[in-house]
Each structure stands twice: as structure tokens, then as C-alpha cells.
Amino acid sequence: MCKEVIGGCTLYLGKMEDTIGNIQGIDHILTDPPYLYIKTHDFDKEFDEQIFFENTKRLLPDYGFIALFGRGTSFYRWNTYLAKMGFVFKEEIIWDKRYTTAPCIAISRVHETVSIHTKRIGKIHRTKVPYVEQKQHNLDSIVNDIKKIKSAIKTEAGLNKIITFLQGGDLCQFSEVSGGTGITVRADLPELPGEIKTLKSITGGMKEKSIIICSSPHHVRLHPTEKPVRLAERILALISDPGDTIYDPFMGSGSFGLACINTNRKYIGSEMKPEYFDIDCKRIEKAVKELQHGTV
């Protein structure tokens, strides 16, 4: 077993079964285990599920989460394991890849699933995603939002509402003052006007959704099942805080480690194949250096 410490990341070369016993002091687990259905690939090997899940329970604090990628029979079995061990199911995330990964099968597969469980008392964070990132694949919705704002500013009352909001209205409720075009704050109104809601989402971001649209990076794949770093960042935002320690016993190409570096989290990972471990070390070392020199 080989161990490398790079910045806030600790990386182990070795099988999960041989390294997980050495792990301690983590807050959450984010991992992408072998799905156990691609029998022709050497990266999709069976692992000792009992050792993995027993240590998951040992390692996680009561507030801790496990976010688990998967599909098929093994994925449903893993979720059942967690339920029987007393973990609490919190959420299911669908990753929309925007491309087909299995073009030869009867149904073009364009998604993967992530299940999120807490050991006992963890609460999913309310997070915001930048407006353009959340809506970039829905041009019609963006156009409708622009039309909504355009229509509002054609009237003096609508324009005043928007100006008041932009000057610091933020979460306030707006209504017209009787007999004039002035604006007053009303906390008892149930909802903001539509144009203000739209502006809020543009300026402050949109609530995260259960379907995350995230394309893979446009580079040569470093691993057959490589996950986008940005996808991992958005999942981490839901389950963890900056400064937390994230554990991943199936590193692959190290995307989850990069996400931790980018979001100010510590990372512990293990990878059993030396060629991928070397890739992990190089990617993480590069990311740490860029962060230290302020180039990220």
C-alpha cells in the first residue's frame, strides 16, 4: 500500500478492502463504486460490499452523508443495505449527461443516479446554482424570462418595482401604494411579482434541482467512467460544508478530489490500479499548485 499526501488530500494506492481500515476522521462519503455489470472491463470488479458498508457506518458521524453513484441490481442492493443498517434516505439525484453512453442498447442511456443517505441527522443544504448554468440547455425558458422583464418595465409601476428590488429589495414583497405609483414593502403578501422572482433567480441563482444537467469535460477521457468535476461540486454543496473531509474509496481518475480542492474541502481517496493512481496524483498536485498560485 502506497500513501501520498498532497495539500489537503490524502491518496492511497490499494484496494478498498486493504485501505479502508486505516481511514478515520471523515465527515461524508462521495463515491462511484464499480456497478458490476460491465464484465469485460477490468475496472468493474466486484468488491467486498460487507466491508465497505460496515466501515461506512463506522466512519460517518451521525450528521454524515453518503452520496452513492450507481445503477442496476447492485445499486438497489446497496440502497437496501444502507436502509437495513439504519441510514436515512434523504434524496435522489439524476445526472443528465446530455449524451448517450450506451448507443448499442435498445434504450439510449443518458443518465446516472445518485442516492443520498445520512447516518442519522444530516440535513440537505439549500443551495443555489448560477442562473445561466441552471438554464443553459433551455433557451425557450431564458427567452420567456427576458420577455417577462421586458413587459414589466414598459409600465411605470413595473419599472419602479424592479428598480426598488435592484436597490436592495431582495426578499421583500412589493405592492402599489393606493392612489399613486410609489412602492411600499408588504411582508404579508404570499408571493413576489413574477418579474421580481425572475430577477432574483438571475441575480442570486436558482435552487438546485433533483435533475442535474452537466456535460462531461471536453477532453480525452482519463477513465472509462469519469465524472465531471462540476457535478461533484454541486453534490458536495448539498451534503457538506467547506472544511469538511470527504472520503472516496473508489477514486478512478480523481474528479471528486479536484471538486474538494475547488470547494475548500479535505479529501481522502483510494484507488487500486497504479495507472489511475498516478493520474490522480498528477491531477491533484496540479490543482493544488494552481490554487496556491491563484490561477484557478
Rounded (5°) CA angle 10-14-15 = 120
Rama region for 259: left / alpha / beta (φ>0; ψ in -120 to 50; rest): alpha
Of 160-169, 220-229, 233-242, least confident by mean pLDDT is 220-229
Confidence of residue 166 (pLDDT cuts 50, 70, 90): confident
Q: Percentage of residues in the chain with pLDDT exceeding 70?
A: 85
Domains and CATH numbers, the chain: 2-127+208-292 (3.40.50.150), 138-204 (no CATH)
Lowest mean per-residue pLDDT among 34-38, 213-217, 274-278: 34-38
- End-to-end CA, the chain: 31
Give the pLDDT band of residue 177 (cuts 50, 70, 90).
very low
Give the mean model confidence (pLDDT) for residues 231-250: 98
Query: Mind listing the pLDDT tens digit for each residue in 104-149?
Result: 778 888 899 999 999 999 999 999 999 999 998 899 999 999 999 9
Query: Rounded to two decimals, what is the model's pTM?
Result: 0.86
Residue 185: pLDDT band by 50, 70, 90 thresholds? very low
Helix ranges (DSSP H) in the chain? 16-19, 49-59, 72-84, 131-135, 139-152, 156-164, 194-204, 229-239, 255-262, 274-292
Relative to beta strand 266-271, strand 9-13 is: parallel
Rounded Cα distance between 288 and 296, Å, is 9
pLDDT tens for residues 66-111?
Answer: 999 998 899 999 999 999 999 999 999 999 988 877 667 788 888 9
* Cβ contact 48:17 at 8 Å: yes
Asked if residues 43 and 223 have their Cβ atoms less than 8 Å apart, the reply is: yes
Placement of cell 496524483 in the chain: 281
Model confidence at 194, pLDDT cuts 50, 70, 90, reads confident
**Average per-residue pLDDT for the chain:** 87
**Residue 1 has what pLDDT?**
77
The mean pLDDT value for 9-17 works out to: 96
